[in-house]
Amino acid sequence: MNLKLLIDGIVRQTTILIAQLSTASGVRAPLAHVADQVFLDLAREIESQGIRRQVVADMFGLALRSYQKKMQRLAGSESERDRTLWEAVLELIEAETPTRQRAVERFKYDGERQVAAVLNDLVRSGLVYTSGAGNGAVYGLTSEAMRDSIQSRRDLESVAHIAWFKVFRGEALTRSELAAQMATDPKLLDEALEELFRSGRLAEREGKLASSNLALPLGAEHGWEAALLDHFRTVAVAIANKVRSSYFGSDSSDQYGGSTFTFTVVPGHPCERRVTDLLRKIRVDVQSLWDEVARHNEEHPPDQDKAVRVSFYLGQTLERSGDDDDTRR
């Protein structure tokens, strides 16, 4: 198998996903940390698999000393929160309803052209309105922006669902591990944990966090971030398990792995409805089985040392002629 081609393809699809997430709903998410975070996490993961640092450094094309210095620098700044000019200008507008001149003066070290570009982008996105012209133009938040501004990304329910997901998946088992993994306000994380404790979704015993069964209702307004992360993680783990198994055909037991089927149909095709209804039909069947398993587990709590988690992933999307394939997959 050509692993380089596989890695290149996965990186390409992942960067497309990140690009779309970073600009979703008119919000411009900070990306300055992404390249460093990818390097840090990837290096740590490779080292955790027992690969010597000298070899890891060589895989990145670095001398050992340069690799060690870079790791120290990135680990030392890992707790710093990134902040974009776009976010800072939006916060200024929310606080002051400033003139264009005031915004330029406030961010003079970023340059007038950069500030003007951000102001124009905010207006085009519908988050901000402007009245007047030139340096005297006034900028303010629209009523929709007041509801859907940058603060919504720090919503308590969103943070709570991500924390619940990480504990359920065993990625973080203490408060400190959660804080290290989640780039959010520590006070907000504490509030999210208290909400999870009150609702019974999490419990804390002797400093260790434990999760109840993770369930995000279909159509829920909150928690979609955790749902998307769960989808992505499950697919990634399935691929990783297949690679580690050193067996790339179908598994005779069909207990791990995945399959993708692409149907080409036109309006009026005799199978059109059966194809487009696949997700709904399978989801109903799987939900019924999940409910049955959950009821049994409530009556007979499983031994966590012996339990096996089976993650079943299904997804469906429609691509029409003329769509950019890379952005739809």
pLDDT tens for 87-97 read 788 888 888 89
User: Binning pLDDT at 50, 70 and 90, where does residue 20 land?
Assistant: confident
Domain positions in the chain: 33-80, 85-151, 157-248, 261-300
Rounded Cα–Cα distance for residues 311 and 305 (Å): 18
pLDDT of 53 over the 90 cut = yes
Return the closest-CA partner of residue 30 out of 18, 42, 39. 18
Return the closest-CA partner of residue 228 out of 40, 83, 15, 18. 18
Quick check: do 85-151 and 157-248 share a fold? yes
Which residue, chain included where needed, has tokens 């434990």? 210
Give residue 16's pLDDT.
Answer: 81
pLDDT of 199 over the 90 cut = no
Within the chain, residue ranges assigned H as helices are 3-22, 34-48, 53-59, 64-76, 85-96, 100-106, 112-125, 143-148, 156-168, 175-181, 186-199, 224-244, 272-276, 278-299, 325-328
Fold assignment, 85-151: Arc Repressor Mutant, subunit A (1.10.10)
Mean pLDDT of 228-257: 71
pLDDT of 3 over the 80 cut = no
How large a percentage of the chain has pLDDT more than 70? 79
* Most confident region among 178-182, 203-207, 264-268, 317-321 by mean pLDDT: 264-268
User: Binning pLDDT at 50, 70 and 90, where does residue 329 land?
Assistant: very low
pLDDT of 101 over the 80 cut = yes
Q: Which residues pair with 141 in a beta bridge?
A: 128
User: Binning pLDDT at 50, 70 and 90, where does residue 239 land?
Assistant: confident
Q: Which residues are CB-neighbours of 145 under 8 A, at least 6 positions away?
A: 126, 127, 128
The class of domain 157-248 in CATH terms is: mainly alpha
- The residue among 311 and 74 whose pLDDT is bigger is 311
Task: Record the pTM.
Answer: 0.52
Give residue 328's pLDDT.
Answer: 41
Residue 315: C-alpha distances to residues 55, 210, 223, 237, 278 (Å): 38, 29, 18, 16, 10
pLDDT of 185 over the 90 cut = no
